[in-house]
Amino acid sequence: MFDTKIAFIVRDDLQTWQRLNVVAFLATGIAAAAPEIIGERYVDAQGRRYGGISGQPMLIFASDLPGLQHVHRKGLERELTLIPYVHAMFATGHDEANRQVFLAEDADNLDLVGLALRGPKKAVDKAIKGLALHA
């Protein structure tokens, strides 16, 4: 049905609140990178309007750090849209600080706690091959 795929990979050693927080931030990154996925606004039976949501499914996977780093490398090789979230971002309080701690990371060994991917379905499937859906 869709020629693209969206996947989130979250590190499996995070606390539940951290996993949810990471996925929420990654989802906003995907929406910003691909605004065309957002559907029309919802309207209830009384005519009240609500915001739209993605019309495309998003799958969430769990992985350890080496698995996330592997997917990151595969995503770069396949030129997928990548939205990263590194561990140091938990200690910041705003977007500019997030960019600064991300810039300070070793680009070849990011301390990833989450990663979002979007791109052609087959390319995303190859990048996430072997990962299990988040339980």
How many other C-beta atoms lie within 10 A of the C-beta of residue 22? 25
Q: What pTM, to 2 d.p., does this model score?
A: 0.94
Rounded Cα distance between 41 and 83, Å, is 25
Has residue 89 got a pLDDT over 90? yes
pLDDT at residue 135, rounded to an integer: 83
Question: Which of the 8 DSSP states describes residue 86?
Answer: E
Has residue 28 got a pLDDT over 90? yes
Tens of pLDDT, residues 60-87: 999 999 999 999 999 999 999 999 999 9
Residue the block writes with tokens 């906003």: 28
Query: Positive or negative CA dihedral for 28, 29, 32, 36?
Result: negative
- Burial zone of 12 (CB within 10 Å; 0-12 exposed, 13-18 middle, 19+ buried): middle
